[in-house]
Amino acid sequence: MAISVPINAPLTDSQAELTAKIGSMKSLLALPTIKKRNIPKENQMSTYDYLIKILDVMGLTPEIIFNAFLTKVFDQTGTFLEEKVLGAIADSIGQQGIQLSPYINNPSASSKIKKGYKANNKSYINGLVPANFLQVYKQKLAKDLLVMIFGPKQVTPTSLNTNQAQVNNLINNSVCGEGLFSLSNNPIVRNNDIEYNRIKLKQQLEKGEVVYEISCQDVKIKLPEDPGFIFNGGGTFTVPAGSVSPAQSLISMVQYTNNQVQRINNESNANSGGKSFYQILIEKLLSFISILVQPFLPNVFATINASLPTSQQVSQSNFVFDNCAISNDPENDNKKEFAKSLFNALLKDLLKLLLLFAIKKFKRLVANYFARTAMEKQRRKLEKAKLKFQVFGQLAENADKIAKYKAALETLATVLGVI
Amino acid sequence: MSAIPINPELQISEEVADFMLFLLNENRVALPKLSIKKILLVKARPGLSAEILAASITSRFPEAKIPNGPLGGGTPNSMEILIKIISEEIVEAIQSDMRVDVVTDPGATVTASGGNAGGPVVCVGATVAPHTGIGIAR
């Protein structure tokens, strides 16, 4: 075999520089160009998800805000929920082109005109219906919410709701509500997948063993045998304590779920599981609230109708629809209006609480960050200056080079001896 | 697909991000204006040195959990070499290519003296237009 000696052809500095520069220029050209992404609003991350994400990166949990929100919604002395419900009724009537007073019935009105009808209806209804019409039902609302989340269908004397017809209705609406509401961006789910999810959810709710995905794992959650203690205080083996507020009961339920997750997992995951379930609970509350309040609306409509002539009276069945009616006719905006208005009104207040909390914490973080970095900068400057003075000792800044050198050398005198 | 949509007016995630970025910018500590005396004192500065800069950066490697000095088996510390190269190139670019344009505000006091048949004349005034200048960074 012939000997082949590779040729040694080194590059000069300028040749090497040019080839390197050309290489780096080619690499830069190969980089993907940064495009300003103009994402339509409906495809952007939802405000709720984004605020949760911001709180997460700041190392905060939204638990405190969820507590405040639940307390606000289920406050037995306040009228927060009642105002939202009355607003939703007014919106639903206005959406169909009806203004109650002075009476107008114009179904083909533009959305701008309908907005005016809705505002007028709201002030009219607020003047008629007592602001606290749901006050005594708040605990029942909380109990029914848990029935919609956990089931079971079979009613026992210790069930949270002992009326079989009501429980059937709640579970049916819980199943129909699957995929109807979302605090996140709309996921791409095919219709047959939704049907499959609904069937699975129905089976779980009827059995009373619901599987939720908490912290990326499926967790089977079942209400305790005697769930009454959640609303009465105390524990399963203790004497019931004093009355607890509905919000406190729901917070206890989150704790109960937390414990169930802990039983099947380690403690760190249990905590995150509990927090994630809190988000599930809040999402379910917003989704189911229109169903939960419906049994208490006939009195509201009766009060409204009492002041209207017979020909102008409004019937609940024409303006308030349940989840099954909505999901069976998803293109009908009139049927959606009550649920949509109530869902968005509550969501708006939840976002307000989250946003104010995030801004407050962010302001503090930014102030601390700049103060800390300024201090660090100052400290480094000071240390550098100190070092300089240590070397130069008492010598003035403007001493000549030889004097400076001499002074610097003197710092080493302990080793080098006197110079 | 969810049939009950979120109101478009509640879709403000981009606005939230913009607002928080605004807060971040607003809270930034603005550099204080230097007095003329302090600016004149910069004459005493020794100027940029790539070696000093590289040494300052590498001395802070431990803060970023990066080792100093040769690695195991006497392997040269590539990170230190890279920092030296970067420092040299940046300082070289600043000293060779950087351009400093200066503009002075109008209103600089001007005094002039002269004389005529009536005797000596002293004028005091101010510049009315901004003036440009050039400088080099070292």
For A196-237, the pLDDT digits (tens) are 777 777 777 777 777 776 666 677 777 776 677 777 765 554
Q: Are residues A161 and A261 in the same domain?
A: yes
Q: Is the dihedral of CA A167, A63, A340, A329 positive or negative?
A: negative
Kindly determine whether residue A179 and residue B5, on different chains, have CB atoms separated by under 8 Å.
Answer: no
Q: How confident is the model at residue A273 (pLDDT cuts 50, 70, 90)?
A: very low
Q: Are residues A245 and A332 in the same domain?
A: yes
CA distance B78 to chain A (A): 18
Tell me whether residue A254 is in a domain.
yes
Tell me whether residue A152 is in a domain.
yes
Q: How confident is the model at residue A398 (pLDDT cuts 50, 70, 90)?
A: low
Q: Which single residue is written with the structure tokens 């709710």? A: A205
**Tell me, what's the pLDDT at A160?**
82
Q: Are residues A107 and A152 in the same domain?
A: yes
Kindly determine whether residue B29 and residue A179, on different chains, have CB atoms separated by under 8 Å.
Answer: no
**Tell me, what's the pLDDT at A244?**
78
Containing domain of residue A408, as a range? 378-416
DSSP track, B86-101: HHHHHHHHHHHT--EE
- The rounded distance, in Å, linking the Cα atoms of A335 and A178 is 17
Tell me whether residue A40 is in a domain.
no
- Nearest CA to A86 among A107, A97, A104, A100? A100
- Nearest CA to A170 among A149, A184, A190? A149
CA distance B6 to chain A (A): 6
DSSP track, B52-105: HHHHHHHHTGGGGT---SS-GGG---HHHHHHHHHHHHHHHHHHHT--EEEEEP
Q: Are residues A259 and A399 in the same domain?
A: no
| pTM, two decimal places | 0.76
Tell me whether residue A219 is in a domain.
yes
Q: Which of A182-186, A329-333, B24-28 has the highest mean pLDDT?
A: A329-333
Q: Are residues A350 and A393 in the same domain?
A: no
User: What's the average model confidence in pLDDT over A371-397?
Assistant: 74
Instruction: Give the tokens for residue A283.
Output: 């999402």
Tell me whether residue A38 is in a domain.
no
**Tell me, what's the pLDDT at A116?**
94
Tell me whether residue A30 is in a domain.
no
Listed as ranges, residues in chain B with pLDDT below 70 are 1-2
- Cβ-contact B42, A76 below 8 angstroms: no
A133-153 confidence digits (pLDDT tens): 898 899 899 989 988 988 787
How many domains does chain A contain in total?
2
Which carries the bigger pLDDT value, residue A314 or residue A5? A314
ipTM exceeding the 0.85 mark: no
Is any Cβ of chain B less than 8 angstroms from the Cβ of A179? yes
**Tell me, what's the pLDDT at A399?**
63
Helical pair B78-96 and B50-59, crossing angle rounded to 10 deg: 140
Q: Are residues A256 and A397 in the same domain?
A: no
Tell me whether residue A19 is in a domain.
no
Kindly determine whether residue B5 and residue A54, on different chains, have CB atoms separated by under 8 Å.
Answer: no
**Tell me, what's the pLDDT at A274?**
44
Which residues, 6 or more positions from A48, have their beta carbon under 8 angstroms from its beta carbon?
Answer: A183, A184, A347, A350, A351, A354
Q: Are residues A279 and A308 in the same domain?
A: yes
DSSP letter at B32? P
Is any Cβ of chain A less than 8 angstroms from the Cβ of B11? yes
Q: Are residues A202 and A159 in the same domain?
A: yes
Which carries the bigger pLDDT value, residue B2 or residue A250? A250
Q: Are residues A163 and A95 in the same domain?
A: yes
Which carries the bigger pLDDT value, residue A274 or residue A144? A144
Q: How many CB atoms lie within 10 A of CB A118?
A: 21
Q: Are residues A85 and A186 in the same domain?
A: yes
Tell me whether residue A165 is in a domain.
yes
Q: How many CB atoms lie within 10 A of CB A161?
A: 17
Q: Is the dihedral of CA A135, A236, A255, A199 positive or negative?
A: negative
- In the predicted model, is pLDDT for residue A358 greater than 90? yes
- Best probe of the A interface among B7, B9, B13, by most A CBs < 10 A, is B13
Which residues, 6 or more positions from B107, have their beta carbon under 8 angstroms from its beta carbon?
Answer: B126, B127
Q: Are residues A295 and A393 in the same domain?
A: no
Q: Are residues A59 and A197 in the same domain?
A: yes
Q: Give me chain A's average pLDDT, please.
A: 83
